[in-house]
Every structure is written in C-alpha cells, then in structure tokens.
Amino acid sequence: MSKARKRRTFLTAVAFILPFFILYTVFTIWPVVQGFYVSLHKWGLMGKQSFIGFDNYAKFIGDKNFWKALKATTFFVIITTPMLVILAMVLAMLANRVTKMKKSLRIIFYLPSVLSVSVASFVAKYVFTPYRGLVNGVLHATGILAASEEPQWLQDPNLVWITISVMTVWWTIGFSMLLYLSALQDISFDIYEAAMIDGATSKQQLFYITIPLLKPTIWLVSLLQLIACFKVFGQIQLITGGGPGSTTRPLIQYIYETAFGKNNMGYAAAMSYVLFAILLVLSIVQQVLQNRGED
C-alpha cells in the first residue's frame, strides 16, 4: 500500500471507530475509574465533600447491614441457580420431544421472559397475595390447603424466599432453556440410533448420551445464572421492597439505598467494588470455560 493510502485508511478507521470509542470510554470504562475515586471520598448527591482515604472500605467490614445484604444475595443465588440449571434442562428436553405440542411448549416456556421485570413482578405479587391471589386460590380449590390456612407468601420471612425464587425461575428460565435446546439439536440422531440398535433403554440414553453431551452447556448455564442471580435487584425491590424488614434486601438494593436514599455515594461506590470483584471472578471463570469449550 502506498503511504498516502495507508494514511487515508488510518483516518477512515479512526472516523469509523470514534463514535463507539467515545461512548464506550465515557459510559463503560470511565465510571470504573471514577467509582474508585468516589470511593475514596465522602461524596453526596451534590458532589465531592472531602477526601477520606480508605475509610469507606474499612466501614463496610463493620457494617452489619452490608453483610446481611451480601448474605441475602448469596442465599438467593444458592437456592435459585440449581433450580434454574436443572429445570431449564428438563423443560428443554420436554420441548424437544417429537410431539404435536413441541412448538407450543417452546413458546409457552419462554413467554414469561418476554415480560419486563416490573410486569413480571407485579403479576407475581398479585399471584402470591393471600385471600384473592391465584396461588392460595388454586391451593384451596384443589383441597391441598385447608380453607382456614392462608400462607403469607409476601410477609413470612421464610416463605418470601420461595416466592422470589419461584418468580425468578418462572420469569428467567426461558433463556437457559433456549441454550439447552440449541445444544440438544446439535446432538446427532445417529448416536441415539446406534444406541437403540445396541438395545439401550431411553433412561440409559438420557444418562449415558444426552446428559454427558450437554455438559458444556450445563457449565455455561450454571455460570451465566450464577452471575445473573448475584445481580438480583428489580424483582425483589418490586415484590417485597427487600422486606419483611430487610430479610430479602440484596446487595444492589443496599447500594442503591445508600447512594440515593442516604446520600452516601462514596460508601456506595466502595461497596460496589465488592460486587464488582465477585462478578469479575465469576465472569473470568465463565470466559475461560467458554473458550475451552470452543477449542
């Protein structure tokens, strides 16, 4: 290439990249840097107040509410992720069977995922409301629940976790199911045919062919869902507001309340780095596993 053309190509490339570069730098990379700077200060909604070094980091170590929120988030992750990983596989297998309902099942299992978080939470909230809500209504109508019993799905500190977890599975499982479905469709039918000729039962086919071949997808879904569950916020804030008390308040909600409710941006930024660190480790593991899977 001639020098003049090289120069022209370079300038064109710069012009093409520039809009993306600016937006990316300002709104993705800069906040990470800025966040650290903010975390070293006493910082309110109106702006910087004073430099306090690492005080904000020392603060959360002794902050009971912070640990409670981290514990609530972790608890949510532990009870929800396995359900998502396993049930999504079951749904995908059911929706992949050769039946007349194949297409309808696929559409129905994914349908809740189309709803926005506020609608999904709203519907769930009314579904779980005692007396006139759907869940208690159906449990009464089918006789599973005695007419005198009225479980408080939104108030009872134990039941409320079931509510949030079930709602999250219902609302978000479609995506994981799609990942399994596309993996299932990649498994060649020849393998099953060979197994059938050898007399393998469908149970054996499931445990010795399908599940082993789905292993990379199981890993991928597990990590993606771990990451997604750690970021839980919307549905909890909308269904319980973090309650009763602060039983279900997740980390992001505590950060949000600290920053915008208590006007303490510096402390909120410091706590954000803990969340950042957790998610960073998980996403590095995910990238490594995914790259290994592709090779």
Partner 1 sequence: MIKKKTPGYWVLNVISIFLAVLFIGPVVWALAVSFQIEGKQIVSVFDWFTPPYTLQNYPEIVMNSSVPTWLKNSLIIAVVTTGLTVIFSALAAYALAKLPFKGSNVVFMYFMLGLMVPGEATIVPLFITVNGMHLIDSYAGMILPSIAGSMTLIIMVSFFKGLPTELLEAARIDGASELKTFFVIALPLSKTIISTVCIFSFIGSWNNYLWPLLCAMSEELFTLPIGIPTFAGTYTVDYVRPLTASMVASLPMIIIYIIFEKQIVAGITAGAVKG
Q: Which of residues 88-147 bind partner 1 (CB under 8 A)?
A: 91, 94-95, 97-99, 101, 104-112, 114-119, 121-127, 132, 134, 137-138, 140-141
Please work out the total of residues on this chain that contact partner 1, with binding judged by CB under 8 A: 89
N-term to C-term CA, the chain? 35
Give the residue with the Cβ less far from partner 1, 70 or 275: 275
Task: Give DSSP secondary structure letters for the chain.
Answer: --HHHHHHHHHHHHHHHHHHHHHHIIIIIHHHHHHHHHHTEEEETTEEEEE-TTHHHHHHHT-HHHHHHHHHHHHHHHHHHHHHHHHHHHHHHHHTSSSTTHHHHHHHHHHHHHS-HHHHHHHHHHHH-TTTSHHHHHHHHTTSS-TT----TTTSTTHHHHHHHHHHHHHHHHHHHHHHHHHHHHS-HHHHHHHHHTT--HHHHIIIIIHHHHHHHHHHHHHHHHHHHHT--HHHHHHTTT-STTTT--HHHHHHIIIIIS--HHHHHHHHHHHHHHHHHHHHHHHHHHHHHH-
CB of 15 to partner 1, least distance (A): 8
Give the residue with the Cβ less far from partner 1, 64 or 100: 100
54, 245, 260, 261: residue in contact with partner 1 (rule CB under 8 A): 260
What angle do helix axes 265-294 and 30-39 make, rounded to 10 degrees?
140
CB of 213 to partner 1, least distance (A): 15
Of 229-258, binders to partner 1 (CB under 8 A) are 231, 233-234, 238, 252, 255-256
Give the residue with the Cβ less far from partner 1, 24 or 67: 24
The verdict on 30 binding partner 1 (CB under 8 A) reads yes
CB 226, CB 81: distance < 8 Å: yes
Of 180-199, binders to partner 1 (CB under 8 A) are 181-182
The verdict on 26 binding partner 1 (CB under 8 A) reads yes
Give the residue with the Cβ less far from partner 1, 61 or 98: 98
84, 88, 178, 218: residue in contact with partner 1 (rule CB under 8 A): 178
The verdict on 151 binding partner 1 (CB under 8 A) reads no
Of 57-65, 155-163, 205-213, 269-277: span binding partner 1 (CB under 8 A): 269-277
219, 283, 285, 289: residue in contact with partner 1 (rule CB under 8 A): 283
The verdict on 206 binding partner 1 (CB under 8 A) reads no
CB of 179 to partner 1, least distance (A): 6
CB of 251 to partner 1, least distance (A): 9
Spell out a b/e string for 187-202, using b for 16 or more CB atoms within 10 Å of the CB, else e.
Answer: eeeeeeeebeeeebee
Amino acid symbol at 188: S
Give the residue with the Cβ less far from partner 1, 159 or 285: 285
Q: Which residue do the tokens 């370079």 mark?
A: 10
Of 42-71, binders to partner 1 (CB under 8 A) are 43
CB of 280 to partner 1, least distance (A): 6
The verdict on 268 binding partner 1 (CB under 8 A) reads yes
